[in-house]
Structure 1
Amino acid sequence: MRIDARERLRVVAGATAGLLLTALLTELLSRHAPGVPWLVAPLGASAVLVFGVPASPLAQPWAVVMGNTASALVGVACVHLFGGVPELAAAVAVGTSIGVMFLLRCLHPPGGAAALLMVLAGVRDWEFALDPVLLNSLLMVAAGMVYNSMTGRRYPHPQVAAPPTPAATARPGPGAAPAFSGADLETVLAHYNQVIDVPEDDLRAIVDQAGLLAARRRLTTLRCADVMSRDVKVVEWGTPLQEAWMLLREHHVKALPVVDRARRVVGIVTLADFMRGAALDVHAEWPARLRRLLQPTPSTRSDKAEVVGQIMSRQVRVASADRPLADLVPMFAATGHHHIPIVGDEARLVGILTQSDLVAALARVDGL
């Protein structure tokens, strides 16, 4: 069991305190006759469940109280019916108690022991199922509620089905585990068709967390070179503005790295740079201003920008091809970057990473 020493101590202390409290209060409240047990042995197994696995469906108050009590009644009935053949009475008592617990939705393993105890002890008094079995079970549950709450464990742990996931929100976010609805989980569990000693909400949370860790691990193994666009359209410092604009329009891109003759990045020109160059923040006659910016000036002197180097952004963030993709996610998410040139050996341009490339990579990580 992969739990730390603190949790083990919590369980041991809880079971000890819970059983002690149950024994003391039963001794005070019980009206048992002399020589009649006032504490039943199956309660020890109930304590393991209530304090050791308080989230388990088998440890919930209804399961503990009704599982033990109904099984004790079944055991007493089998003593009356098959008392002359104790072997038959024992087998029928345990089997029937399991069936009754399934029927009442209160499956509790110590219930089988409670039924067997009635047969082995030859109990014929129906009140024994109420005092001490029912009384013991109620006190144990009360102790579990108090102790588990004090030590940070939810008890009772309601078995609430997850709400259906709307189609519009079923898609997971970047890096998240693949989403599934409560109905999906119920379908799988129905097909599995076995008792699982984990509540459905905890099972869903465990699967979600495992999927999230797996997605993060896969994301850290991806490098920029794995997802970048390699067919990069580039311009140089002296590329005419009209030529650069046509490249943006023809190839449906929003940025062009500016490189020198050694293919090292010296800047980047984007649609925003063209907008600033044409003062497009002033809406009046902006088509005319854009045409004027793009139109080459025939004379040797000009009062406007003529080449890419005059409007490009010189402060460019670049990343190496072998850099983990996960390092660049915050850059796209928080700093407003839309395009990051990727460089290889000797800082030469080998590709470009766009928001679209990042989204596609995250989608593959998430298994969409």
Structure 2
Amino acid sequence: MANPKNPTPGPGQIFGFQIFRPILAGATLRERLVACLGALIGIALTGLICGWFFGDGPHIPLIVAPMGASAVLLFAVPASPLAQPWSIIGGNTISAFMGVVAARFVPDPIMAIGVGVSLAIAAMSLTRSLHPPGGAAALTALIGGHAVTSAGFWFPLFPVCINSLILVALGIGFHKISGRNYPHVAVKPPVNTHGTADIPPDLRVGFRAEDVDAALTAMNETLDIDRSDLDRLLRQVELQALVHTHRELLCEDVMSRDVITIAENGTIEEATALLLDHNIRTLPVVDRAGRILGTVGLRELANKSAARVADVVVEAKTAAKDDPAVGLVQSLTDGRTHAIIIVSADRKILGVITQTDLLATLARQSTLRAFEGKSQTAAA
């Protein structure tokens, strides 16, 4: 039930009742509704397309039951390594093939179903196509009835492989339309942008990749998440904890307000002079209304073929004045970003926060906290 002191329904509550409690991290009611719609479209169209091309006579089924389980992964947890295109297509097809092999060479039916699923797991593991519905595809090849068993080695190709290909193609289209990233591409770990052997600045303090590996070994469990996604999640947790600790420090408290800018029709020479004269590394570019268009630095201005800053402007990293200032740490330590432009809702420049601004403020806060701690200890 909802808290009577807070009548506003929380996430997953309707009329005060908790009807949706996420099992997976990040799941929301909206995401599940999108998944239901995707599965409806994906499975229905897969059956329709197969029926259209191959007819509906009394032969091999046009769509096999494991596709329903594949749809759960494809539409409900599209970021899972088990739901990627190769996992679905390769896992189902290879597993069905293993099921046919077991049916052909293991005479005892009971033993054959065990061997089929076992071979499917082994084959999917070796081909990096692990997909839970693959186990069901192997069983279908063994116990799917006369039409399936008589098809022999054609069964993994049709309907299993064809079903999987169509379902994945529909899934890619659906996720693109609904604004999801699929296939899921794990973010690459940060690299040193200066071409030296040092590890990136944001990886020098805190946990390292080997710490994550050691923790996974100690847990002795297999998690349904890509290794690099897990690393990124933990670093985001670190950042959120830091933001929580310094939540009272906002961007407007740290930003420089007298911002040097250049118009979009400014020349390369004018921009270079502004950077050198004011000893800054990032120069915001604005339109006639004073709205941010992007930024330029000495690297961009070194382009010999450009005449105007509009020719070399790059996308600016921005934040709002009431955003937590500590939340900018990750961007300002990526080895490429030297300043964050603070903008209003209409994209007009309010200020700028550089690496120096944030570092000086955090150092000052740390000194004050240490002094307060010593004062309280002395008073006690």
Shared fold per TM-score greater than 0.5: yes
Which residue of 2 is the match for residue 30 of structure 1?
Answer: 54
Return the match for 1:357 from 363, 367, 380.
367
Task: Name the SS of the counterpart of 1:48 in structure 2.
Answer: helix
Task: Name the SS of the counterpart of 1:46 in structure 2.
Answer: helix
Q: Give, in angstroms, the shift of residue 36 of structure 1.
A: 2.0
Post-superposition CA distance 1:198-235 (Å, at most 9, x none): 1234322321221122223334599xxxxxxxxxxxxx
TM value normalised by structure 2 = 0.54
- Contact residue 58 and residue 106 of structure 1 kept, 8 A: yes
1:56 aligns with 2:80: yes
Q: Give, in angstroms, the shift of residue 189 of structure 1.
A: 4.5
Q: Give, in angstroms, the shift of residue 22 of structure 1.
A: 0.8
Distance 1:107 1:39 in 2: 21
Post-superposition CA distance 1:307-349 (Å, at most 9, x none): xxxxxxxxxxxxxxxxxxx9xxx9x9769999xxxxxxxxxxx
Which structure has the larger Rg?
1
1:144 aligns with 2:177: no
Return the match for 1:79 from 98, 103, 116.
103
Distance 1:158 1:119 in 2: 35
What percent of counterpart residues are identical?
39
Distance 1:103 1:219 in 2: 47
Post-superposition CA distance 1:287-315 (Å, at most 9, x none): xxxxxxxxxxxxxxxxxxxxxxxxxxxxx
Structure 2: which 5+ runs fail to align?
A: 1-21, 250-325, 327-352, 372-380
Which of 1 and 2 has higher RCO (CA within 8 Å, sep 6+)? 1
Q: How many matched pairs?
A: 238
- Contact residue 14 and residue 147 of structure 1 kept, 8 A: yes
Which residue of 1 is the match for residue 41 of structure 2?
Answer: 17
User: Which residues of 2 match residues 206-217 of structure 1 at below 5 A?
Assistant: 206-217=233-244
Post-superposition CA distance 1:111-147 (Å, at most 9, x none): 0010011111252411111010000000010011001
Which residue of 2 is the match for residue 96 of structure 1?
Answer: 119
Change (3 A) 1:334 1:66: closer
Change (3 A) 1:220 1:162: closer
The letter for the 1-side match of 2:179 is G
Change (3 A) 1:203 1:28: same
Which residue of 1 is the match for residue 139 of structure 2?
Answer: 116
Change (3 A) 1:159 1:355: closer
Which residue of 2 is the match for residue 127 of structure 1?
Answer: 154
The letter for the 2-side match of 1:216 is V
Q: Give, in angstroms, the shift of residue 191 of structure 1.
A: 6.4
Structure 1: which 5+ runs fail to align?
A: 223-325, 339-352, 362-368
Return the match for 2:71 from 40, 47, 67.
47
- Contact residue 101 and residue 107 of structure 1 kept, 8 A: yes
Change (3 A) 1:162 1:337: closer
Moved over 6 A (4+): 335-338
- Contact residue 92 and residue 131 of structure 2 kept, 8 A: yes
RMSD of the alignment, in Å?
3.7
Which residue of 2 is the match for residue 204 of structure 1?
Answer: 231
Q: Give, in angstroms, the shift of residue 27 of structure 1.
A: 1.1
Post-superposition CA distance 1:28-53 (Å, at most 9, x none): 22378623211000000000001111
TM value normalised by structure 1 = 0.56
- Contact residue 170 and residue 179 of structure 1 kept, 8 A: no
Change (3 A) 1:68 1:167: same
